[in-house]
Structure 1
Amino acid sequence: MQYAIIGFVIAVMTGKFFLSQIYNILFDSNMLQENFKGEKIPIGMGLFFIPSLIIFSMFFQLHYNDTGINLILVGCILMAFVGYLDDSTVDKSNKGLKGHIKQLFKNKVTTGMLKALAGFGISLYISLSISNSLQEIIINTLLISLFTNFMNLWDLRPGRATKVFILIAIIGFFLSISYTQYYFALFICLSLIYIKGDLTAKYMLGDTGSNLLGIFLGICFAIDLAFYYKIALVVFLIVMHIFAEKVSFSKIIAKNKLLNKIDMMGR
Structure 2
Amino acid sequence: MLYFVLILAGFAGTRILTPYFKDMICESGMVRKNYKEDPIPVSMGMSFLPLMLVNCAIILYFEKYEFVGTYMFAVMAMSFAGIIDDTMGNRSSSGFKGHFKALFKGKLTTGAFKALFGGLVALFASIPISTGVLDMIINTLLIALFTNFFNLMDLRPGRAIKVYFTSCAAVFPFIPNDIRLLAVGSISSVMGYFPEDIKARAMMGDAGSNVLGVSIGMLVALGLGGGAKMGALIFLVLVHLIAEKYSITKMIEGNRLLDYVDKIGR
TM-score tier (shorter): over 0.9
Match of 1:146 in 2: 145
1:181 aligns with 2:184: no
Shift of 1:198: 1.0
CA deviation digits over 1:17-53, x for unaligned, max 9? Answer: 1111111111111111121112221111111110101
- Mark the runs of 5 or more structure 1 residues left unpaired by the alignment: none
Match of 2:34 in 1: 35
Match of 1:159 in 2: 158
Kindly provide the amino acid, as one letter, of the partner of residue 20 in structure 2. Q
Secondary structure of the structure 2 residue equivalent to 1:107: coil
Task: Report the count of equivalent residues.
Answer: 266
18-27 or 90-99, which moves further after superposition? 90-99
Aligned equivalents of 1:107, 1:141: Cα separation in 2: 26
Shift of 1:5: 4.5
- Given that residues 89 and 109 in structure 2 are in contact (C-alpha distance below 8 angstroms), is that contact kept between their aligned partners in structure 1? no
In the TM superposition, 1:1-267 aligns within 5 A as: 5-89=4-88, 91-267=90-266
Aligned equivalents of 1:112, 1:236: Cα separation in 2: 22
Residues 1:247 and 1:31: Cα distance change in structure 2 (over 3 Å): same
Residues 1:13 and 1:193: Cα distance change in structure 2 (over 3 Å): closer
- Given that residues 22 and 48 in structure 1 are in contact (C-alpha distance below 8 angstroms), is that contact kept between their aligned partners in structure 2? yes
Aligned equivalents of 1:169, 1:203: Cα separation in 2: 23
Shift of 1:194: 1.6
CA deviation digits over 1:105-136, x for unaligned, max 9? Answer: 22111111111111110111111111121111
Aligned equivalents of 1:193, 1:12: Cα separation in 2: 4
Kindly provide the amino acid, as one letter, of the partner of residue 213 in structure 1. L
Residues 1:139 and 1:90: Cα distance change in structure 2 (over 3 Å): closer
- Given that residues 221 and 229 in structure 2 are in contact (C-alpha distance below 8 angstroms), is that contact kept between their aligned partners in structure 1? yes
180-189 or 158-167, which moves further after superposition? 180-189
Residues 1:99 and 1:213: Cα distance change in structure 2 (over 3 Å): same
- Given that residues 44 and 205 in structure 1 are in contact (C-alpha distance below 8 angstroms), is that contact kept between their aligned partners in structure 2? yes
Shift of 1:249: 1.5
Aligned equivalents of 2:124, 2:260: Cα separation in 1: 40
- Given that residues 59 and 181 in structure 2 are in contact (C-alpha distance below 8 angstroms), is that contact kept between their aligned partners in structure 1? no
- Given that residues 8 and 186 in structure 1 are in contact (C-alpha distance below 8 angstroms), is that contact kept between their aligned partners in structure 2? yes
- Given that residues 170 and 184 in structure 1 are in contact (C-alpha distance below 8 angstroms), is that contact kept between their aligned partners in structure 2? no
- Mark the runs of 5 or more structure 2 residues left unpaired by the alignment: none
Backbone CA RMSD of aligned residues? 1.5
Secondary structure of the structure 1 residue equivalent to 2:136: helix
Instruction: Report the TM-score, using the length of structure 1 for normalisation.
Output: 0.95
87-96 or 42-51, which moves further after superposition? 87-96
Aligned equivalents of 2:38, 2:97: Cα separation in 1: 27
Shift of 1:8: 4.4
Higher RCO (CA < 8 A, seq sep 6+): 2
CA deviation digits over 1:226-254, x for unaligned, max 9? Answer: 01211111111000100111111111111
Aligned equivalents of 2:232, 2:72: Cα separation in 1: 23
Secondary structure of the structure 2 residue equivalent to 1:179: helix
